[in-house]
Amino acid sequence: MKSLQMKKLSGLIAIGLVALTVSNAAMARTFRSAEVHAKDFPTNQAVKFMGDELSKATGGKDNIKIFADSSLGSEKDTVEQVKIGALDMVRVSSASFHGIVPESVIPSLPFLFRDIEHFRKAMYGPTGDKVLAAFEKAGFIGLCMYESGARSVYAKKPIKTVADMKGLKIRVQPSDLMVSLVSATGASPTPMPIAEVYTGLKTGLVDAAENNYPSYDEAKHFEAAPVYSETMHVMTPEVLVFSKKIWDTLSKEEQAAIRKAAKDSVPYYVKLWEPREKDAKAAVIKGGAKVVAAADIDRKGFVDAEKPVWDKFATTPELKALVQEIVNTK
């Protein structure tokens, strides 16, 4: 009799363990994150680091799978997928949100940041958190921002003054701000996904583009537009966002673990980004690109031309206050 009872008890325990295992397996999550850059690009590596940290924090329950190289579509495509909950996360240029989250425009205002240290103090602190919080009302959870260096213009000729921009067809990110920024110089802005820029430059669909050194190098744009002029006109941050639809299904503990892992990935990213910028500049010069140094650019002329852009996009008292908060950051 005792033997039979023990067998039943053992059986119940086994069933319970199986049920617990199935339950834990059902709760395990693999969050899918989209990325337009190659697997070894710093943004990809930072999100991978975040995934590793998240896995450690959740005892291996939660992790992140990255879909790189635009495998799930353009930045615009993947933002839309995240919005409807078809995709969990995406890392994109914050310019992708300029028409969706008004606050996301402010860090991209031309010549807003004095230098990279000014950017870091503002965007990696409370002011940056205010910008990230604004994404929620649009259906996204802003997790963190990554610096992307200063964007500069590259073409087949040097760009030293505003007059040098006149009449050029310049590829810009699909953003009203970037369109206005380029228009203010007398150039003709042409919105275009990054994957199409190389062909656009080669075929003459556009005369120039603007981006940071690592993107200029990675996309081989220096082959088609070999003169990189350090206009350093904007420091548009990258942004990592989560689908609010998916977010609302997670426990508070999971949400906290995801936020912490994202924030912890920022210093890791910076350590990757700084040498990547230097290496990319060296690589494009070795590849035949010519660099017009920032010291040879008429910065004041560009700043004066872009002043109306600030007024056009910082239209509410709240946005004006955000601009002033960034300007006042020391």
User: Over 80: is that where the pLDDT of 38 sits?
Assistant: yes
The average pLDDT across 18-23 equals 36
Please tell me the predicted confidence (pLDDT) of residue 324.
Answer: 97
User: Over 80: is that where the pLDDT of 25 sits?
Assistant: no
**Phi, psi at 304, each rounded to 5°:** -60, -40
User: Over 60: is that where the pLDDT of 15 sits?
Assistant: no
Assign 26 to helix, strand or coil: helix
- Going by their DSSP bridges, the two strands 151-155 and 227-234 should be labelled as antiparallel
How far apart are the C-alpha atoms of 314 and 330, rounded to whole Å? Answer: 21
Q: Please check whether residue 173 is in contact with residue 234, taking contact to mean a CB–CB distance below 8 angstroms.
A: no
Least confident interval from 9-23, 104-118, 180-194, 203-217: 9-23
Please tell me the predicted confidence (pLDDT) of residue 6.
Answer: 42
The average pLDDT across 168-192 equals 96
Please tell me the predicted confidence (pLDDT) of residue 131.
Answer: 98
How far apart are the C-alpha atoms of 169 and 201, rounded to whole Å? Answer: 10
User: Over 60: is that where the pLDDT of 12 sits?
Assistant: no
Q: Please check whether residue 234 is in contact with residue 93, taking contact to mean a CB–CB distance below 8 angstroms.
A: no
Per-residue pLDDT of 290-305, as tens digits, reads 999 999 999 999 999 9
**Phi, psi at 211, each rounded to 5°:** -170, 180
Please tell me the predicted confidence (pLDDT) of residue 219.
Answer: 96
pLDDT band at residue 196 using 50, 70 and 90 as cut-offs: very high
User: Over 90: is that where the pLDDT of 28 sits?
Assistant: no
Structural domains in the chain plus CATH codes: 30-148+236-276 (3.40.190.170), 151-235+289-327 (3.40.190.170)
User: Over 80: is that where the pLDDT of 13 sits?
Assistant: no
Per-residue pLDDT of 238-249, as tens digits, reads 999 999 999 999
The single-letter DSSP state of residue 98 is T
Judged on CB neighbours under 10 Å (0-12, 13-18, 19+), 146 is buried
Retrieve residue 167's tokens.
């009449």
